[in-house]
A and B are shown apart, each in its own frame.
Chain A
Amino acid sequence: MDWEFLKGQDAAVASLRRDLASDRVANAYIFHGPEGVGKSTAALIFAKALQCGGEAPPCGECPACLKIDRGVHPDVIHVSPPEGRKSIGVEHIREAVIGRAVQRPQEGNRQIFVIDEAHAVTIGAFNALLKTLEEPSYDTVIILITQNLHALPPTVVSRCRRLLFRSLNRDEQRAVLAASLGGAGGDLDQLISLSLGRLGTALGNDPEVLAGRREAALGFLEGLAAPPGKADIIDLLSLAASQGSGSGAVRAEVLRFLEMLLGLLRDILVLKVAAGDLEPWNTDLDEVLRELGRRWGAPGLIQAMDRVETAVRDVGEINTNPSLTLESLVIGLRGTVGAGS
């Protein structure tokens, strides 16, 4: 796996390669951009290029490259929230990063710390990390990976070199999926639609599960958009409740449902106001979505998306009760139907 593997991130890749070529590698980077566009892959390739002992780094064949590929290189340290936890706390950062960054590398040229989901690092942990970011030793490189740059404190952001990884268009996604899945991916276009253009989702999920989720989200929207006489609030509430039933992974499941809902609303809005200029993800639902779009005005749709985004934040970050959040969302969304049309 080398730089060629990374599709559609020419600007970020060029910047990293320039740093390598001129031996002016920064001590801290932030790779930010949407989920599944190659941030972690870029960090891995960058780490290999830094540790590689071959002639054309990253050669992919030397012991260092092979160890990084297998995830056992002692000087490439991955940090992510511990199992069952949502955040990376100060103890974790002290032990995994700060305490090791003060040591010389074990066998590589440098020590590279890759902090995945950097937005999950607590503010206390970031504060503890500041000194390491500010005065690192020459052989330490810290890479923060996040989808949400704004969740990082400005004190951290200002100490890092920022690289934006942009969203991939449909063709680039198709190329990446084809390379990763081979023939096993089935209908790639369908998969891209179902995953709303998120490669991470497309690669990590069963297409049938995604299709089922979209079906549920579509049914939910159709219920909402039904004319007043026919709309059955009780039905909707129970549909919402069914999304939040069961146990264990409820919260995660509700989040994915809400994200699907958001994707569909976005497509409806695109078809309504920017058809032709922007491409909706769910190309196969064109007619259905256009039909749904007639029930909303553009301001109403934007309002609806706002409400869903708030619900995503409530469930994902503030830890509200998923079922209650969904129920209040039903009421709130119902109020956006017809607005402004």
Chain B
Amino acid sequence: MDIVIQRNTLHRALQSVQGVVESRSSAMPILQNVLISAEGKNQVRLLATNLDIGLQGLFEAKVKEGGSVTLNARKMFDVVRELPDADVNLIEEDGQWIRMECGQSSFRFPGLPPSDFPSIPDTGKEKSQSVPSKVLAEMIRKTMFAISQDETRYTYNGVYMESEDETLRLVATDGHRLAMVERSGLGADFNGGVIIHKKALGELVKLLSESADSVEIFMQKNHVIFRMGAIELSARLIDGDFPKYKQVIPQDNQHHILADRDGLMRALRRVSLLSNETRMVKFVFQKGQLTLMTNGSDVGEAHEVMESNYSGDELIIGFNSRYCLDVLNIIEEPDICFALKDSLSPGVISPSEGEGYIYVIMPMRV
């Protein structure tokens, strides 16, 4: 291989794959490398994977001689970062060494055989589905925070994506709360639904924020691929059944209480400062008012009274304040709606207007 590529292009290319390069030495040293291969006369493909996520991109370059090489992605990135803005020449030498020249500087890297590099699924000619980048990014943002941090519960470690009657739906849960977002008119087919790991989602959100108008989604047997312009991210699917989330969403919560999102959030922050290690805050609904209370901790107790449109009998329910704050932070609308049944049934928080976002939260025993 012999290629000439602009320093800035190479820098951008290497930067885009850094996120998935294996940083520590694992059983497969080649995962620390990036695969660079010449494509036609004017492009190179950069490819990196940690076996959970694969990233590849096409970048402009002058190809003098075709071929492919792999070399340590981190070291190469460090070197390229320090190079002046000029043409960089990459030449494959005997014995899998790669020489990189730029101006008066010359570097040599040891390579590993490209045939040892794990293959990354190809989008091929399959049909894709297009979703606006901004919409997908927002849907991920609104669910991802509810993913479980417990690494041993694999099906809870990702966001579940499915489509039903031209509606795209994302769901995430950790067993204590559940976030579900829907957008209609986006008929993406997910073969009945897929779970995408949170690590892949993190990378995806980063790419979506820089990406053009829409993202193309390709479903495959073992992977789902997101293509944004010249960059493709492939995520290995989690094999397992996502919990039956529909059974968790309460349908008969008869009390609907409106609240000012910002006011509630500020009050909750203040009151929760004096909660005990369970982070529980008591919500006391009475005619016309809502009182937030914390007591029972060594550090003190707090309560704050707010106006409310509640009109039923007194209802006391405890929630984990962090779970509440998480969702209040994410919702953009000025007003939210609580839907409650009684003090032992799950509550629902959603924006007061507009459909498509539901947050279910399990109560704590008060």
Is A147 engaged at the interface, CB distance under 8 Å to the other chain? no
Is B238 engaged at the interface, CB distance under 8 Å to the other chain? yes
Size of the B side of the interface (Cβ < 8 Å), in residues, is: 22
Is A12 engaged at the interface, CB distance under 8 Å to the other chain? no
Give the contacting residue for B27; candidates A77, A94, A107, A128; CB below 8 A: A77
B window 212-226: CB within 8 A of A: 221-223
A106 touches B51 (CB 8 A): yes
Is B118 engaged at the interface, CB distance under 8 Å to the other chain? yes
Enumerate chain A residues within 8 angstroms of B27, measured Cβ to Cβ: 77-78, 96
Enumerate chain A residues within 8 angstroms of B30, measured Cβ to Cβ: 72
B51 touches A74 (CB 8 A): yes
Is A63 engaged at the interface, CB distance under 8 Å to the other chain? yes
Identify the stretch in A97-105, A242-250, A317-325 within 8 Å (CB) of chain B at 4 or more residues: A97-105
Digit string of A16-31 for contact with B (CB within 8 Å is 1, else 0)? 0000000000000000
B115 touches A103 (CB 8 A): no
A106 touches B28 (CB 8 A): no
A window 139-197: CB within 8 A of B: 139
Enumerate chain B residues within 8 angstroms of A98, measured Cβ to Cβ: 152
Is A67 engaged at the interface, CB distance under 8 Å to the other chain? yes
Is A85 engaged at the interface, CB distance under 8 Å to the other chain? no
A102 touches B118 (CB 8 A): no
Size of the A side of the interface (Cβ < 8 Å), in residues, is: 23
The number of A-B residue pairs with CB atoms under 8 Å apart is 53
Enumerate chain A residues within 8 angstroms of B240, measured Cβ to Cβ: 102, 137
Is A66 engaged at the interface, CB distance under 8 Å to the other chain? yes
19 extra A-B contacts, CB within 8 A, seeds A96-B27, A101-B239, A102-B238: A63-B119, A72-B28, A72-B30, A72-B118, A77-B27, A94-B152, A99-B154, A100-B51, A102-B154, A102-B155, A102-B239, A103-B52, A103-B238, A104-B223, A104-B236, A104-B238, A104-B239, A106-B222, A137-B240
The 10 closest A-B pairs by CB, nearest first: A104-B222, A102-B154, A74-B118, A72-B116, A137-B239, A107-B119, A103-B236, A104-B237, A104-B239, A74-B51
- Point out residues on B near A: beta carbons under 8 Å: 27-28, 30, 51-52, 115-116, 118-119, 121, 151-152, 154-155, 221-223, 236-240
- Show 28 A/B contacts (Cβ-Cβ < 8 Å), sorted by A: A63-B115, A63-B119, A66-B115, A67-B116, A72-B28, A72-B118, A74-B51, A78-B27, A94-B152, A98-B152, A99-B151, A99-B154, A100-B51, A102-B154, A102-B238, A102-B239, A103-B237, A104-B221, A104-B222, A104-B237, A104-B238, A106-B51, A106-B118, A106-B222, A107-B119, A107-B121, A137-B239, A139-B239
